[in-house]
Copies of this chain bind each other. A is one copy, B any other.
Amino acid sequence: MNIYDIARLAGVSIATVSRVVNDSPKVSEKTKQKVRAVMEEQNYTPNVFARGLGLNSMRTVGIVCPDVSDAYMAESVAYLEKRFRGYGYDCILYCSGYKQESKVNAVQMVLKKKIDALVLVGSHYVGDGSEEEIGYLREAAREVPVFLINGYVRCPGVYCMLSENYQIMYDTVCALTEAGRKRILFLYDSHSYSATQKLLGYEDALRDNGLPMVEELKIFTENKISTVRENLLQRGELNFDAVVATDDGLAVGALKYAMKKQMRIPEDVNIIGFNDSELAVCCEPELTSIDSRRDALCKTAVDSLMLLLEGKSVRHKRSVRCHLIKRGTTNF
């Protein structure tokens, strides 16, 4: 059942059918009715490929993230998909993994699908920010508007929105030191732009508060509760009186370690997570965590891209403050 069949059955030309499908104003109501009736009756759906060929668009946006099974990304994708769909855009999902090569490949692959826009979730896509590592973004932006959720790169066609991770981490560590904490563990699981910002905030806060920067207190580990716990356990004597982490999973791992070591929480150790996930209200005591404003970033992504696709212009870069959500693992 194609446009010719409908045209024949409705006694009009294919051009008219096409116009009806696209709700063109230059077709008489009467004709529209007639054609629509036939379409309904025949259960006609325009062929998207042919449509795509003609319009050079299938109203699709590409969503690329390292791994949807991660809670932050899953929530992001859920939000994005819903909003884009609300605008009539379908979403192609590509989970790229974390390696530079596979990220580049993912972006190239998804571009071949002639998507109308591309959104990259998480700050892994800017690599170390070097020209070499962001070259693929530059190229991508030549084809479609690209939005970086929680990443920043100065490049035409690449739009960005950041969480102020440096600032919140700086403020948080300052608060910890002001509350008398001296040995603050920093847990992280990636070298992404945002993780780096968090680390910088941590380091600067230590320095500005006259605390030494102890290398053994910066621990890189897989983001899995049991792994973090075991990892810490294996380190023997590891004294600390506070923990900040780049994700809740890491913080909970530390919490589990602290429990095992009979440390009192929050008296002996303050623990602070990141992303304010369901894990934070799941553990005991509940975890103080940082709201990274994921939805605010995602919202901006959708809003900006939709404006761009309508031919409007858009402000280039914005950022949003994060918030500390206090729960039982802190006492300041």
Give Cα A43 to B113, complex, Å.
15
Residues from chain B with Cβ under 8 Å of A69 in the complex? 71, 74-75, 77-79
Indicate if the CB atoms of A281 and B90 lie closer than 8 Å: no
Does A218 sit at the interface, judged by CB under 8 A? no
Indicate if the CB atoms of B249 and A278 lie closer than 8 Å: yes
Interface of chain A residues 31 through 63 with chain B (CB within 8 A): 45, 47-50, 52-53, 56, 58, 60, 63
Does A93 sit at the interface, judged by CB under 8 A? yes
Known: A74-B69, A78-B69. A278 touches B279 (CB 8 A): yes
Indicate if the CB atoms of B91 and A93 lie closer than 8 Å: yes
Indicate if the CB atoms of A95 and B82 lie closer than 8 Å: yes
Give Cα A90 to B81, complex, Å.
16
Indicate if the CB atoms of A71 and B68 lie closer than 8 Å: no
Indicate if the CB atoms of A114 and B279 lie closer than 8 Å: no
Give Cα A93 to B91, complex, Å.
6
Q: What is the CB-to-nearest-CB distance from A184 to chain B, in angstroms, rounded to a whole number?
A: 22
Give Cα A78 to B69, complex, Å.
6
Does A67 sit at the interface, judged by CB under 8 A? yes
Cβ-neighbour of A53 out of B50, B78, B114, B278 (below 8 A): B50
Does A155 sit at the interface, judged by CB under 8 A? no
Known: A53-B53, A81-B94, A278-B279. A112 touches B68 (CB 8 A): no
Give Cα A63 to B68, complex, Å.
13
Does A8 sit at the interface, judged by CB under 8 A? no
Residues from chain B with Cβ under 8 Å of A109 in the complex? 90
By beta carbon, the residue of chain B nearest A59 is B113
We find that the number of chain A residues with CB closer than 8 angstroms to chain B is: 47
Interface of chain A residues 79 through 126 with chain B (CB within 8 A): 79, 81-82, 85, 90-95, 109-110, 112-114
Instruction: Point out which of A52, A60, A63 has the most chain B C-beta atoms below 10 A from its C-beta.
Output: A52
Q: What is the CB-to-nearest-CB distance from A248 to chain B, in angstroms, rounded to a whole number?
A: 9
Q: What is the CB-to-nearest-CB distance from A215 to chain B, in angstroms, rounded to a whole number?
A: 29
Does A225 sit at the interface, judged by CB under 8 A? yes
Cβ-neighbour of A67 out of B45, B78, B252, B278 (below 8 A): B78
Q: What is the CB-to-nearest-CB distance from A82 to chain B, in angstroms, rounded to a whole number?
A: 6
Interface of chain A residues 248 through 278 with chain B (CB within 8 A): 249, 252, 259, 278
Does A178 sit at the interface, judged by CB under 8 A? no
Cβ-neighbour of A71 out of B63, B71, B252 (below 8 A): B71
Give Cα A8 to B285, complex, Å.
70
Given contacts A48-B112, A69-B74, A78-B95, 19 further A-B contacts (CB under 8 A): A47-B53, A47-B114, A48-B52, A49-B49, A49-B50, A52-B53, A60-B92, A63-B93, A68-B68, A68-B77, A69-B78, A71-B74, A82-B95, A90-B92, A90-B110, A91-B92, A91-B93, A278-B279, A283-B283
